[in-house]
Amino acid sequence: MEEIESDGEGVERIKRHRGRRPKEWVTIEVPKLVHEAVDKLPQGRAACIIDCLSLYVSNLVLSHRFVSGDFSQAEENVIDAVDKLVDSCVARSEIEFFVVTNEVGWGIVPENNLARAYRDLLGFANQRMARAASSVYLCCVGLQTKLK
């Protein structure tokens, strides 16, 4: 998680989130290039939580300067990054990956093109990860439903 110093409430949320993790967990926090972190995980049977895909996509989208609402470069970047992440996870078959994400396409269509681009790109990322996953669960209002 990347802290924004001027956002005191956000910094506190991150601190609480980190504090809830079990002490024995090894945590790698990277805002981008998550596939490289996966590639560098130690060899051997393990579990890895990627938390969260929606923040990763947001970081990728916001890392581009947009000219007149053109998100084509951001789209290429997100597609490439998510494909690399999926490939890295598949290549590490000895590790069981748990990917946390959000569903943002169920609400009202956003009025601005940045929010629409984000919604669409996260939808792509979610679909790509779900296709590659052996199982997929939807968690809503404290209940889990197996989708795949």
Catalytic residues: 17
Between the two ends of the chain, the Cα-to-Cα distance in Å is 29
Q: Which of 75, 95, 74, 87 is nearest to 28 (CA)?
A: 95
Q: Output DSSP code: residue 50.
A: E
Taking each helix axis as running N to C, give the angle between helix 113-132 and helix 72-91, from 0 to 180 degrees, rounded to the nearest 10. 20
**Strand duo 46-51 + 137-140: pairing:** unpaired
Q: How far apart are CA 81 and CA 95, in angstroms?
A: 20
DSSP 136: -
